[in-house]
Amino acid sequence: MKAPRFTPKVVTANDLLLGDVVYLTADDLWSRQHHQAELIEDEAHAQMRLLHGTAQRQVVVGAYLADARTGPKGPEPVHFREAFRTRGPSNYNHGKQADPSDV
Amino acid sequence: MYSYSDFDAGFVRARVQQFSGQVARRLDGSLTEDEFRPLRLMNGLYLQLHAYMLRVAIPYGTLSPDQMRQLALIAETWDKGYGHFTTRQNIQFNWPKLQDVPAILAALADVEMHAIQTSGNCVRNVTADHFAGAAADEIEDPRPYAELLRQWSTDHPEFQFLPRKFKIAITGAPNDRAVTRAHDIGLRMHRNAAGEAGFEVMVGGGLGRTPMIAHTTREFLPVADLLPYVEAVLSVYNTLGRRDNKYKARIKITVHETGPVEMTRLIEARFAELRPLFGGADQALLADIRSAFAPPAFRIGPIDAYHAFYTADPTFRSWADTNLAEHRNPDYAILTVSLKAHGETPGDASAAQMRLLADLAEKYGHSDLRISHEQNVILPHVHKSDLPTLHAALMQARLATANIGLISDIIACPGMDYCALATARSIPVAQDIALRFEELKLEHEIGPLKLKISGCINACGHHHVGHIGILGLDRAGVKTTRSPWAVMPPKPPPLVNAPAPVSPTTRSCPPSSVSCAPILPCARPLQRRSSMPTAALVWHPSKPHSIRPKAAKMPLEQPLAPVAERVAELNARYRHHGATAVLERAMTDPQVGRIALVSSFGAESVVLLHLVSVIDRSIPVLVIDTEMLFAETIAYQAEVAARLGLTNVQRVMARRERLNFEDPDGTLHQFSTDACCALRKTEPLEAALGQYDAWITGRKRYQGSARAAVDFFEAEGDLRIKVNPLAHWGREDLEDYMVNNRLPRHPLVAKGYASIGCAPCTTPVKPGEDPRAGRWRGTEKVECGIHFINGRAVRVPKETA
């Protein structure tokens, strides 16, 4: 069977102190904004970036690779769970949707 | 209510200190997340979807006004101004920051509260009837026993590392308001013939992915034996409970696998050992605790104001009719304050609402507040003359919704709005349903109706127990929320101790309540070679030869489109559906045509047979009898057919003259397994399928590389459609389904056979092997040939196998 094409990924995690959702950028920072994340299109590179993210144990918790795709502003989430993580809950205007700079 | 002793206060303070140190060490890097995680969980701190979440226990659901005010203060100071009351009498704060948690825990300790054992594999918050101490039907207030259990279980050295979490619920009334049968241990007080109070002890209940009703292990337990008996249950569980698989680790599985009778015996044996060790200190303590739960000094006064308002004010009347329950003192009422205002989040209360409730409880409710597992707040002792004033005050804060027990009084878990485990959102579904029924103004007319919503199979929203249960699922990243079953009896039955309908936990299983429905015995169970037939097909003797599947009874309006076209269309349409939807469609759709199920009655066949039997027991079930089957398979065929009430099982055999010619001495399989399969399976089946447009198989993707691309619908050339409803099921799904529906297992499974074919060519498989590795072991062959396509169901060429 032909190996399926690699789905692009972003490295995402939760901030250690605040618990809010963060994304690994190409310049090794953690952004609160999904569209600022590094969109990783190569599987081997994705593993390296995940290791890099996981190693920052004093900054983030629970790093993992999430499917993403290119959008007009930058990477966009694919799964609705990841879309929810970029915004916050639906019942209150809390989380990133209220103030992207804070939780 | 109970007040902390110096020991309690010191213990909780010490824990706050300890956790403060742990947080500090996490922040300075001396603790890794792997080391810190279990420590924070032991203190109720989770990491959720958008933030940390702190779960605080409200033991037996009882709060003082000061405690409620402190919760409001915490919500305002360190959270976003609200808290969420859960279905296990906890409150959850959704936005705390890690470095603030020690301060929050200290603030809780100030009012004798904590978050200890609200997570982890230990005894969780002991929950109780929220009407405790007030209900008219109550034998005794259960909360002293709950407090005794809390003290005994907190930091109990033997039970800090159980196989899995452990939940206890207790009620002092014969009417169960604490969902006792869905707990690891449920305790229901009743009186014996001598008039003494005691507990019915129920063990092994639970919801989640494997919903089970608890078994009664002791009909009547004297109250003095409570601690030793509960300790005996935990002790047996701690020894026998599985630690190899977290999905099989709850005591309900232990009870299921050990058997309730054996479990009862083990518990009683352990109890006999433990009982003498309890020398009476527990009873002395219980007496002390009991004095703390003395009923309040009820006021004596006229209740005319209540009656006057009730007659004059329809809004008040409607609220009183739904939100009041009978108090043991006829001048009093139990008031349930709804946290389910239409369009609001079920179970959420703002800091302002919490403060108002605290004030009102102080002024009109003998300073007593309760949180129910139904996510509402209760003022258990309200003098009826105060109700009009209370109602007016509650109206101001949107707390006077008259909907208790109605369809908009929805239990909903936080779902994917907050929870990291959730597969779907449940809050918006609850909000929409409540708003819709409010618009229709129908709910009072509909009457009592329990609607429960869970955002994943862990069932925090109790979706298995109620009149309508909704389970949110994720299918291929597409938002789906479906009601797997909905039963609306004309008059809702009491939810008390009745075996609750058990709904599916794995994707698209049919309700297992169906399996409890009377199953008609098979008119004539299969009989092995009662008369040796010579025809290719052995028709069931009770069925006319011309029996046809349901779909074929209706004349087709137009000839069927080419198979490939229909298959593509069906696959596109059912891409996001599950097994039941696919089966229902396949069994009724004229596009599919005449259909039969082909079953081997092998290791897992019973799942598909059950799914089909729920939809239509008269579907033709074709069984290939190669005359080489295990005796166990033959017996199992009869057992399953009878159990599921299948009325049209047909045995398919090779024609006698073909056998006499090709394999007269029954040794062909030793020379060519392929030729043997062709003779005994493929040819007869091909002949039998000649009159069908489609057939259902149990093939699954996980069953080995040759089946990795199996789809729901497949074209067999342009002959017929092959339907594979279980294509996407995994081994776990099948296991769960068989357990949930109490289906009989093939006797050879216990002997290590994971896939069962003919006796000469099947061997057991070792752990870790491909389940089908035991078929035709030592050869290249992996498929018998009936499942290969290319125009006809033909024998598989060796090189492609």
Residue by residue, DSSP assigns B82-147 as: EEEE-TTSEEEES---GGGHHHHHHHHHHTT---TTSSSSSB-PPEE-TTTTTBTT-SS-SHHHHH
What is the structure's pLDDT at A100?
Answer: 59
The H or E element containing residue A65 is strand A60-70
Q: Do A17 and B50 touch (CB under 8 A)?
A: no
Cβ of residue B345 closer than 8 Å to a chain A Cβ: yes
Nearest CA in chain A to B24: A17
The answer to whether residue A84 neighbours chain B at the CB level (below 8 Å) is yes
Q: Are B189 and B171 in contact (CB under 8 A)?
A: yes
Q: Are B569 and B696 in contact (CB under 8 A)?
A: no
Cross-chain Cβ contact A91/B50 below 8 Å: no
pLDDT of residue B532: 33
The pLDDT value recorded for residue B233 is 98
Task: Pick the closest to residue A56 from A22, A89, A81 (CA basis).
Answer: A22
- Position B777 pLDDT exceeds 60: yes
The mean predicted confidence, pLDDT, of chain B is: 85
Q: Where does B600-737 show beta strands of DSSP type E?
A: 621-624, 649-652, 694-696, 713-716, 720-723
Residue A93: closest CA among chain B residues belongs to which residue? B80
Q: Is residue A94 within 8 angstroms of chain B, CB to CB?
A: yes
Looking at residue B664, its pLDDT comes to 81
Q: Give backbone dihedrals phi and psi of B597, rounded to 5 degrees, phi first.
A: -105, 130
Amino acid at B352: A
What Å distances lie between residue B230 and B119, B201, B254, B384, CA to CA?
Answer: 20, 9, 16, 39
H or E stretch covering B14? helix B6-27
More confident residue, B442 or B550: B442
Select the more confidently predicted residue: B363 or B704. Answer: B363
Mean per-residue pLDDT of chain A? 91
**For residue A80, which residues of chain B lie inside 8 Å, CB to CB?**
474, 477-479
Reported ipTM: the value is: 0.94
* pLDDT of B755: 83
pLDDT band for B60, please (50, 70, 90 cuts).
Answer: very high
Give B-chain residues touching A19 at CB under 8 angstroms.
Answer: 47-48, 50-52, 96-98
Indicate the Cα dihedral angle B387, B393, B397, B402, nearest 10°.
20
A91 touches chain B (CB under 8 A): yes
∠A89-A91-A93 over CA atoms, to 5°? 70
Query: A90-93 — which CB contacts under 8 Å span 24+ positions?
Result: A90/B417, A90/B425, A90/B427, A90/B428, A91/B345, A91/B348, A91/B417, A91/B427, A91/B428, A91/B431, A92/B80, A92/B82, A92/B345
Is B593 strand, coil or helix?
coil
User: In angstroms, what CA-CA distances link B201 with B162, B220, B441?
Assistant: 20, 7, 42
Q: Which two tokens stand for residue B565?
A: 């076209």
Residues B431, A91: C-beta atoms closer than 8 Å: yes
pLDDT digits (tens, 9 = 90+) for A33-72: 999 999 999 999 999 999 999 999 999 999 999 999 999 9
B29 touches chain A (CB under 8 A): yes
B642's torsion region: left (phi>0), alpha (psi -120 to 50) or beta? alpha
Is the CB of residue B154 less than 8 Å from the CB of residue B116? yes
- Token pair 């779907």 in the structure block, residue: B424
Note the pLDDT of residue B545.
35
Query: pLDDT band for position B492 (50/70/90)?
Result: very low
Rounded to whole angstroms, the Cα distance separating B768 from B744 reads 24
Of B50, B96, B98, the CB nearest to A21: B50
pLDDT in tens, B101-125: 999 999 999 999 999 999 999 999 9
Instruction: Give the model's confidence band at B769: pLDDT under 50 very low, under 70 low, under 90 confident, else very high.
Output: confident
CB contact under 8 A, A17 and B477: no
Query: What's the rounded mean pLDDT across residues B41-49?
Result: 95
Q: Six-digit token pair at A18?
A: 């605040």
Interface check A78 vs B, CB under 8 A? yes
The dihedrals phi and psi of A65, each to the nearest 5 degrees, come to: -95, 130
Smallest Cα distance from B51 to chain A, Å: 4
Catalytic one among B122, B456, B677, B784?
B784
Which of B663, B690, B688, B664 lies closest to B677, judged by CA? Answer: B663
Q: Which of B628, B396, B142, B47 is nearest to A60 (CA)?
A: B47
Distance from CA of A44 to the nearest CA of B (A): 25
Residues of B in contact with A61 (CB under 8 A): 33, 47
Residue of A nearest to B419 (CA): A89
**Tens digit of pLDDT for each residue in B703-734?**
766 777 788 888 887 888 889 998 888 888 88
3-state secondary structure at position B515: helix
**Any long-range contacts for B589-592 (C-beta under 8 Å, 24+ apart)?**
B589/B551, B590/B551, B590/B554, B590/B556, B590/B557, B591/B560, B591/B561, B591/B566, B592/B551, B592/B566, B592/B693, B592/B694, B592/B721, B592/B723
CB nearest to B345's CB, from A78, A91, A103: A91
pLDDT (average), residues B215-244: 97
CA B237 to each of CA B227, B257, B724: distance values in angstroms, whole numbers, following the listed order? 15, 12, 39
Q: Chain A contacts of B29, Cβ < 8 Å?
A: 57-58
Spatial distance between the Cα atoms of A30 and B153, rounded to a whole number of angstroms: 42
Task: State whether residue A100 sits within 8 Å of chain B by CB.
Answer: no
Pick from B178-182, B260-264, B473-477: least confident: B473-477
Identify which has the larger pLDDT, B657 or B437.
B437
d(CA A15, nearest CA chain B) in Å: 8
Q: State mean pLDDT over B261-267.
A: 97
Q: Give the ranges where B194-313 is alpha helix by DSSP (H).
A: 226-240, 251-258, 260-274, 281-292, 304-312
Q: How far apart are CA B437 and CA B348, in angstroms?
A: 20
Cβ-nearest to A19 among B52, B416, B431: B52
Given a contact cutoff of 8 angstroms between Cβ atoms, the answer to whether B96 and B53 are in contact is yes
The C-alpha atoms of residue B118 and residue B721 are separated, in whole angstroms, by 52
Higher pLDDT, B372 or B757: B372
Q: Where are the alpha helices (DSSP H) in B332-476?
A: 351-364, 387-396, 427-440, 443-446
DSSP B182: G
The Cβ of residue A13 has, within 10 Å, a number of other Cβ atoms equal to: 21
Q: Is B576 on the interface with A (CB under 8 A)?
A: no
Taking contacts as CB-CB distances below 8 angstroms, the residues of chain B near A3 are none
Run of H or E including B612? helix B605-615
Give chain A positions within 8 Å (CB) of B478: 80
Residue B490 has pLDDT above 70, yes or no: no
Instruction: State whether residue B720 is helix, strand or coil.
Output: strand
* Residue B449 in tokens: 């109706």
Residue type, B761: C
Compare CB distances from A84 to B97, B98, B416 and report the shortest one's residue: B416
Distance from CA of A2 to the nearest CA of B (A): 12
B39, B30 contact by CB (below 8 A): no
At A87, give phi and psi (nearest 5°): -115, -60
Q: Do B50 and A85 touch (CB under 8 A)?
A: yes
Within 47-66 of A, beta carbons closer than 8 Å to B belong to: 57-58, 61-62
pLDDT per position as a tens digit, B500-551: 333 333 333 333 332 332 222 233 333 333 333 322 233 333 333 333 333 3
* Tokens describing residue B215: 């078994």
**A17 neighbourhood in chain B, CB within 8 Å:** 27, 97-99
**In contact, A10 and A4? CB cutoff 8 Å:** no
Predicted pLDDT of residue B786? 62
Res B228 pLDDT > 50: yes
User: Could you read off the pLDDT of A1-43 as tens digits, one per residue?
Assistant: 556 689 999 999 999 999 999 999 999 999 999 999 999 999 9
CB count, 10 Å around CB of B24?
Answer: 13
As a whole number of Å, the CA-based R_g of chain A is 14
pLDDT digits (tens, 9 = 90+) for B544-602: 333 333 333 343 445 567 888 888 888 887 777 788 888 888 888 777 888 999 988 88
> How far B32 CA lies from chain A's nearest CA (Å)?
7
Q: Which uninterrupted H or E stretch holds B306?
A: helix B304-312
CA B383 to chain centroid: 39
Nearest chain B CA: its distance from A90 CA (Å) = 6
Highest mean pLDDT among A90-99, B106-115, B767-776: B106-115
Give the whole-angstrom CA distance, residue B171 versus residue B186: 8
How would residue B497 be classed by pLDDT, with cut points 50, 70 and 90?
very low
Whether residues B477 and A84 touch (CB distance < 8 A) is answered with: no
Q: In this structure, are residues B95 and B57 in contact, taking their beta carbons and an 8 Å threshold? A: no
- The letter for the amino acid at B782 is V
Contact A88, A94 (CB under 8 A): yes
Q: Nearest CA of chain B to the CA of A32: how many Å?
A: 11
Are A79 and B477 an interchain contact pair (Cβ–Cβ within 8 Å)?
yes
| Closest chain B CA to residue A15 | B51
State the pLDDT at residue B787: 62
- A-chain residues near B93 (CB < 8 A): none
Q: What's the pLDDT score for residue A101?
A: 57
Known catalytic residue at B509: no
Segment B308-360, tens digit of pLDDT = 999 999 999 999 999 999 999 999 999 999 999 999 999 999 999 999 999 99
Confidence class of residue B55 from pLDDT cuts 50, 70 and 90? very high
- Say whether A19 and B99 touch across the interface (CB within 8 A): no
- B52 vs A contacts (CB less than 8 Å): 19
User: Which tokens is B611 given?
Assistant: 């799914």
Q: Report whether B422 contacts B455 (CB < 8 A).
A: yes
Note whether B49 contacts A91, CB cutoff 8 Å.
Answer: no
Neighboring chain B residues of A93 at a CB cutoff of 8 Å:
none
The answer to whether the Cβ–Cβ distance between B98 and A81 falls below 8 Å is no
Closest chain B residue to A18, measured at CA:
B97
Reference B625, options B646, B599, B644, B596; nearest CA is B599
Kindly state the average pLDDT of the residues B416-436: 95
CB contact under 8 A, A80 and B47: no
- Which of B35, B45, B50 is the best residue to mutate to test the A interface, defined by the most A CB atoms within 10 Å of its own CB? B50
**B29·A58 Cβ contact <8 A:** yes
Looking at the complex, report in whole angstroms how far the Cα of residue B246 sits from the nearest Cα belonging to chain A: 20
**Taking 50 as the threshold, does the pLDDT of residue B737 lie above it?**
yes
The tokens of A29 are what? 């920072």
Tell me the nearest-neighbour CA distance from B706 into chain A, angstroms.
Answer: 10
Best residue in A80, A91, A99, A102 for a mutation probing chain B (most B CBs within 10 Å) = A91
